[in-house]
A and B are shown apart, each in its own frame.
Chain A
Amino acid sequence: MANSKKALKVLLTGGGSTGHISPLLAIAEGIKRKVPEAVFIFAGVKQGMEARVIPRTGYKLYFAPSKGMPGIRSIQFLFWCMTLFLGVLKALGILLKEHPAIIVASGGFASAPSVFAAAVARIITLGLWRIPVYIHEQNAVPGRMNLAAARIADRIGLSHQSASAWLPKNKSKLVGYPVQASFDSVDREEARHELGLEQDEEYLLVFGGSQGARTINRAIVEALPTLAERSSLRIIHACGTMTGAYNARKDTETLLSGLSAKPSRYELVDYLHNLPVHLAAADLVVIRAGAGSLLEVCAAGKPAIVVPKANLSGDSQVANARELQRKQAIEVLFEEPTVSGHTFIEAVSGQTLAERILFLLEHPDQRRALGEKAKKLYDPNSANRTAEDVLRLIGFKTEEAVEKGEEPGPDSAPATKPFTPTVLRQKLESILGIRWEQAFAHGKITEEEIGRLTAMKKFSEITQKVGVTSFQNLIEAQNGDQTLLESIARMAVEYDIPDVGNLFFHAAQLKVNGVADLHQLVDIADIDYLRYRGAALLVHNSWLLRNEGIKLLGLTKHEGRLDLLVNVLTDRTPDSRLHRLMGGDFQQVGFVRRNAVAALALIGVWNDDVRKAVLAAIDDPYYEVRSWTMKLIRTLRENELDKDAELVEKVKHRTGDKKLEVRSEALHTYGVLGSPVDVLEVTKPLLLDFRPMLRDSILRGWEELLVRFPEDQDAEWRLLLQAEMDSMLITSITFRPHFPLKEKYGRLNAFLHSGEAQ
């Protein structure tokens, strides 16, 4: 087939959002540069952006029905299967009609029919009709479609090395993210002329992707009154084409109509067809942190304020944005959850956005610096490289490649998957030495423990500066390389880390805990990121992830967002009807509320907000929330809680709770709060109770009394206590196992390793 006279026909497939379309167009450009006679056809879905974008390119456009995959258990799943089946049939028809030489897919559900049709064709003809499939993966964490298609694909081009952690290594190759040349090539003045901008006008482009971004749309509308002060400012706001639960256009228009003042030169549009021109003309851009948008901004060399979308798989937008932020190529505004009605939504405050915009407009030198740094990150060759990789697959060898003597073949540098929230939390637990289940036993997290995180982060910076990347390297260095050790020690002084030996110990610990690379510390030990991540997770639909968010907030001692925890405990939005039928209650499910109580204990702050949450939690319908709140009250006892009559009364009431566990915790806690006579009055009827758990708690409560009032040697309540103790049933049906052999073994083991631990 190689170098046949027939024109090369390439089927491009992918779509839904422009994020999947523009890399395909860039690859097509790249192929066209090398094989000018190549013909392109495009297969997408009718409801996707390709229906609007592709006709302008002149490529032949086909539609094959497909949908995003719903949860496997939902009824929608059946419909989805049927749609996909029809789509594959239709795509088979397209393949039969057009006979493309290769399929280039960019992922997303829109590419599913064509890719699967190619697979079906292979199977039916027993491999006789075999259309090569090339997949380009744009993200650091592959989407579901590309994971599934990876088995079929003959070759996979990656934009990020880290994606190879999921994909077959022998097929994947890092090629970069192909960007259309037009983003790089349009001249600013021409573009401004084309758009009809005046000489002194400042052009602010607000663009949340082809679908639109709620956070950006709402924030910019909120910012408009402030921005109106600047008369030279022209704003074009592309709000996106999203319809459905959030209708981008409608929502934005409603918000706009409620504004008192807005800039005269503000324009609202759905979508920008000539984005390269707009980018070239812009003085400042507000965008999402999708890999494509960021690179397009880099290609155009524009200063940008980036609002990454939280909670994507692998937190990919946040990771993209943080990487560019570290290189000082962009400004980042992170989404934070705010309370809207009863639940959380992610948002950026319009005021903050307006301030950032005005600041950058006032400081052209800063804008220029951002733009220049961004431009440096742009790799103009990635489209060509990808195109070359595609052509190699079907045996087209371009002259340059022959000259260079490049061997076709994948490269597979090792890559590690980013941490899921659960893993992140577990690593954090191991650094802090706290297990969530024992949060109450640990009590308040101290500043010193949090300081350990900061030290770890500094340590990772140091090691990266001296060129150590893996723990293995570090440990080898520790055993031999004296100069390296000295430079680490010198830098430690510079970075104000008191004890370097301690750091090595922690590093060894982390290695044991399965952290492979030192650069992973950037996520594990960055307390600001962890706090942000914890808060952001609270807007997630899945309670499992909200639960992890709560744990992260607690473990990082995030005093700044106590309001979130308080809201979780007081939020009374009901759960779905089905769940309520089975015994559920609120949308913030029992475990989430319970863990919010534990997080409050780890944070250890007592104020009016917390008091409000605690009072709500004492009467919570879920028993574990009530019993954990009793424990929380004990950890916060220093705040003179026994003076709080309402609280004490509520705890007293709980000593009669219907749930044994709550009752027993309340009996203990009441010993911390109540007056001796009151406590003895409560315990008196329970002295002969048959349940050992209750009598155990009574004893613990009495113990607290004796500790609280050590001076009352001759007080009357002591006699009462003596009398109650005399009449108490002390048969026990429980005991703790005691294994003398294992204890001696443990002692010896600790003794043996004590040298190492210091």
Chain B
Amino acid sequence: MIYLLASLFLEMGDQFSYFRVLQYTTVRSIGAVITTLLLVLVFAPSFIRLLYLMGQKDHQRDFDAHLAKSKSGTPTMGGLIILGSVIFSLLLWGNWGNSYLWVVTSALVVFGIIGATDDIAKVTGKSADSGLSRSAKLIIQSAYGLALGCFLFFPATTPFPESIADTIGVVFLKPEVWNGFDVHLGWFYIAFVAFVVVAVSNAVNLIDGLDGLAAGTAIPPYLVYGIFAFILGNVELSAYLLYPSLPGVHELVVFIAALMGALIGFLWFNGYPAEIFMGDTGSLSLGGMLATIVVLTKQEMLFVIAGGLFIFVNATHIIGDRIGIHMLGRRIFYRTPIHHAYEHVGIAETKVVLRFWIVAVILALMAVATLKLR
């Protein structure tokens, strides 16, 4: 809205030229951060009360009785306030003429709805096991992934420059080195996008298990992709760093900024001991949005580093839970998702969360370092 107003004023004449400032990505990003942060900080307490009155209380599986028992009953579905404030802030600060913004907002809405349905089912079923079935979630996620893949692949709709629409980003290698090998995926690109969406969104969903863990560990990778979006959207910077330029992708910076503000505000209340959980509404949509941003910035390979923590948690969960518990009938790790294993051997929850944050930050720094290490 502010972007629109600013362009209106600019058209009216030179005396309004200082409104140009309001069109800068940086200024709008700062505005978006402040808006969401304030929104969440101000409205969260009454929102928590509202959730409580609506009966949106958490029901946990008892991994270790003394750990979980005392947390049952905490209001969940706090993801709603994150998503709500982001949308409000984007309505203010976003440039809605940009198709990147529309795509990532679609992810927010779709994954937010899946998550909310799941949360409500869990609450009405009074158990952590009675949410949407795994396969139902997978089907919706892959459907969204395929739709996104098609949107990005076909020349009529793709926001990418046509020549590179079906390529993927490669880490550590300069374009001169890999240009010789054609990495155009062709039709496979659609399937690849679907795979990335399903894998990334589930990975983030899984890490949501301790107070402040999901929100805190999601911030560094989002920041990394914010930096990349800023660079790739800027013709000069991307040329200097030998990246293909993606005009318009810098609008994602505003989106990420709004999300960062909301997440920090959410952490204020979600830090140990949590007053509110984000629920699947939060964790699924955090994953879905991150997956979409990964695809939109064409930095899929980079996620292996930036999102290394998520991949670690996911891989151990697949090995420990799917293969170990369900197939072999034995535990391979003490507990999965793996953060519960650290608790099991006697490390306090707060310490596990803090250490995961540290690892996330280190991985993010490594990911940023790949900008020059090519």
If A622-B330, A739-B70 touch, does A733 touch B65 (CB 8 Å cutoff)? no
Is A591 within 8 A of B334, CB to CB? Answer: no
Chain B residue nearest to A590 in the complex (CB): B330
Is A579 within 8 A of B348, CB to CB? Answer: no
Is A584 within 8 A of B330, CB to CB? Answer: yes
Question: Out of A590, A696, A735, A742, which one reaches B348, CB within 8 Å?
Answer: A735
Question: Out of B66, B273, B329, B349, which one reaches A590, CB within 8 Å?
Answer: B329
Assess whether A547 is interfacial by the CB under 8 Å rule.
Answer: yes
Question: Out of A543, A582, A660, which one reaches B345, CB within 8 Å?
Answer: A660
Q: How far is the CB of B122 from chain A (nearest CB, A)?
A: 18
Q: Give A592-634 interface residues, CB cut-off 8 Å to B.
A: 592, 622-624
Q: Give A76-132 interface residues, CB cut-off 8 Å to B.
A: none
Chain A residue nearest to B349 in the complex (CB): A737
Contact with B along A558-597 (1 / 0, CB 8 A): 0000000000000000010001001110000111100000
Is B66 within 8 A of A736, CB to CB? Answer: yes
Is A742 within 8 A of B346, CB to CB? Answer: no
Is B70 within 8 A of A742, CB to CB? Answer: yes
Contact with A along B310-347 (1 / 0, CB 8 A): 00000000000001110111111010000000001111
User: Which residues on A sit within 8 Å (CB–CB) of B327?
Assistant: 579, 582, 584
Is B330 within 8 A of A691, CB to CB? Answer: no
Contact with B along A685-725 (1 / 0, CB 8 A): 00000011100100000000000000000000000000000
Is A590 within 8 A of B70, CB to CB? Answer: no
Is A733 within 8 A of B328, CB to CB? Answer: no
Assess whether B174 is interfacial by the CB under 8 Å rule.
Answer: no
User: Which residues on B sit within 8 Å (CB–CB) of A583?
Assistant: 323-324, 328, 330, 332
If A691-B345, A693-B345, A693-B346 touch, does A739 touch B330 (CB 8 Å cutoff)? no
Question: Out of B62, B330, B332, B349, which one reaches A591, CB within 8 Å?
Answer: B330
Complex Cα distance, B334 from A661, in Å, reads: 9
Assess whether A403 is interfacial by the CB under 8 Å rule.
Answer: no
Q: How far is the CB of B326 from chain A (nearest CB, A)?
A: 9
User: Which residues on A sit within 8 Å (CB–CB) of B324?
Assistant: 583
Complex Cα distance, B328 from A739, in Å, reads: 38
Question: Out of A575, A592, A623, A692, which one reaches B346, CB within 8 Å?
Answer: A692
User: Which residues on A sit within 8 Å (CB–CB) of B347?
Assistant: 692, 733-734
Is B70 within 8 A of A589, CB to CB? Answer: no
Assess whether A274 is interfacial by the CB under 8 Å rule.
Answer: no
If A437-B62, A737-B273, A739-B70 touch, does A584 touch B328 (CB 8 Å cutoff)? yes
User: Which residues on A sit within 8 Å (CB–CB) of B346?
Assistant: 691-693, 696, 733-734
Is A592 within 8 A of B329, CB to CB? Answer: yes
Complex Cα distance, B273 from A582, in Å, reads: 39
Assess whether B49 is interfacial by the CB under 8 Å rule.
Answer: no
Is A437 within 8 A of B65, CB to CB? Answer: yes
Assess whether B351 is interfacial by the CB under 8 Å rule.
Answer: yes
Complex Cα distance, B345 from A661, in Å, reads: 8
Q: How far is the CB of A121 from chain B (nearest CB, A)?
A: 30
User: Which residues on A sit within 8 Å (CB–CB) of B332?
Assistant: 583
Q: How far is the CB of B181 from chain A (nearest CB, A)?
A: 34
Assess whether A541 is interfacial by the CB under 8 Å rule.
Answer: no
Assess whether A731 is interfacial by the CB under 8 Å rule.
Answer: no
User: Which residues on A sit within 8 Å (CB–CB) of B330?
Assistant: 583-584, 589-591, 622, 624
Complex Cα distance, B334 from A623, in Å, reads: 10
User: Which residues on B sit within 8 Å (CB–CB) of A696?
Assistant: 346
Chain B residue nearest to A438 in the complex (CB): B65
Complex Cα distance, B325 from A589, in Å, reads: 10
User: Which residues on B sit within 8 Å (CB–CB) of A660?
Assistant: 345
Question: Out of A543, A736, A742, which one reaches B329, CB within 8 Å?
Answer: A543
Complex Cα distance, B295 from A60, in Å, reads: 64
Q: How far is the CB of B260 from chain A (nearest CB, A)?
A: 29
User: Which residues on A sit within 8 Å (CB–CB) of B65?
Assistant: 437-438
Q: Give B276-299 interface residues, CB cut-off 8 Å to A.
A: none
Q: How far is the CB of A241 from chain B (nearest CB, A)?
A: 36
Q: Give B70-88 interface residues, CB cut-off 8 Å to A.
A: 70
Is A589 within 8 A of B329, CB to CB? Answer: yes
Chain B residue nearest to A661 in the complex (CB): B334
Is B331 within 8 A of A624, CB to CB? Answer: yes
Q: How far is the CB of A434 from chain B (nearest CB, A)?
A: 14
Complex Cα distance, B327 from A543, in Å, reads: 10
User: Which residues on A sit within 8 Å (CB–CB) of B329?
Assistant: 543-544, 547, 584, 589-592
Chain B residue nearest to A594 in the complex (CB): B330
User: Which residues on B sit within 8 Å (CB–CB) of A623?
Assistant: 331
Chain A residue nearest to B63 in the complex (CB): A437
Chain A residue nearest to B67 in the complex (CB): A737
User: Which residues on A sit within 8 Å (CB–CB) of B328?
Assistant: 575, 579, 582-584, 589-590
Chain A residue nearest to B347 in the complex (CB): A733
Chain B residue nearest to A735 in the complex (CB): B348
Q: How far is the CB of A290 from chain B (nearest CB, A)?
A: 32
Chain B residue nearest to A693 in the complex (CB): B346
Q: How far is the CB of B99 from chain A (nearest CB, A)?
A: 41
Q: How far is the CB of B334 from chain A (nearest CB, A)?
A: 7
If A543-B329, A582-B327 touch, does A737 touch B351 (CB 8 Å cutoff)? no
User: Which residues on B sit within 8 Å (CB–CB) of A734?
Assistant: 346-348
Chain A residue nearest to B64 in the complex (CB): A437
Q: Give B255-283 interface residues, CB cut-off 8 Å to A.
A: 273
Contact with B along A212-244 (1 / 0, CB 8 A): 000000000000000000000000000000000
Q: How far is the CB of A712 from chain B (nearest CB, A)?
A: 31
Chain B residue nearest to A624 in the complex (CB): B331
User: Which residues on B sit within 8 Å (CB–CB) of A736?
Assistant: 66
Chain B residue nearest to A738 in the complex (CB): B70
User: Which residues on A sit within 8 Å (CB–CB) of B345?
Assistant: 660-661, 691, 693
Is A582 within 8 A of B348, CB to CB? Answer: no
User: Which residues on B sit within 8 Å (CB–CB) of A691?
Assistant: 345-346
Q: How far is the CB of A653 from chain B (nearest CB, A)?
A: 22
Q: How far is the CB of B329 from chain A (nearest CB, A)?
A: 3
Complex Cα distance, B334 from A739, in Å, reads: 26
Complex Cα distance, B332 from A622, in Å, reads: 9
User: Which residues on B sit within 8 Å (CB–CB) of A735?
Assistant: 348
Q: How far is the CB of B339 from chain A (nearest CB, A)?
A: 14
Contact with B along A510-548 (1 / 0, CB 8 A): 000000000000000000000000000000000110010
Q: Give B175-221 interface residues, CB cut-off 8 Å to A.
A: none
Complex Cα distance, B345 from A692, in Å, reads: 8
Q: How far is the CB of A328 from chain B (nearest CB, A)?
A: 42
Chain B residue nearest to A743 in the complex (CB): B70
Complex Cα distance, B324 from A438, in Å, reads: 22
Q: How far is the CB of B145 from chain A (nearest CB, A)?
A: 24
User: Which residues on B sit within 8 Å (CB–CB) of A661?
Assistant: 334, 344-345
Complex Cα distance, B323 from A589, in Å, reads: 13
User: Which residues on B sit within 8 Å (CB–CB) of A591?
Assistant: 325, 329-330
Chain B residue nearest to A737 in the complex (CB): B70
Q: How far is the CB of A728 from chain B (nearest CB, A)?
A: 16
Q: How far is the CB of A578 from chain B (nearest CB, A)?
A: 9
Chain B residue nearest to A580 in the complex (CB): B328
Contact with B along A658-699 (1 / 0, CB 8 A): 001100000000000000000000000000000111001000
Q: How far is the CB of B211 from chain A (nearest CB, A)?
A: 10
User: Which residues on B sit within 8 Å (CB–CB) of A622?
Assistant: 330
Complex Cα distance, B70 from A590, in Å, reads: 30
Complex Cα distance, B66 from A438, in Å, reads: 12
22 CB-based A-B contacts, threshold 8 Å: A544-B329, A547-B329, A582-B328, A583-B323, A583-B332, A584-B328, A584-B329, A590-B329, A590-B330, A590-B331, A591-B329, A591-B330, A623-B331, A624-B331, A660-B345, A661-B334, A733-B348, A734-B348, A736-B66, A737-B66, A737-B70, A737-B349
10 extra A-B contacts, CB within 8 A, seeds A583-B323, A583-B332, A742-B70: A575-B328, A583-B328, A624-B330, A692-B347, A696-B346, A733-B346, A734-B346, A734-B348, A737-B273, A739-B70
B residues near A (Cβ < 8 Å) are: 62, 65-67, 70, 273, 323-325, 327-332, 334, 344-349, 351
3 closest pairs, A vs B, by CB?
A590-B330, A589-B329, A584-B328
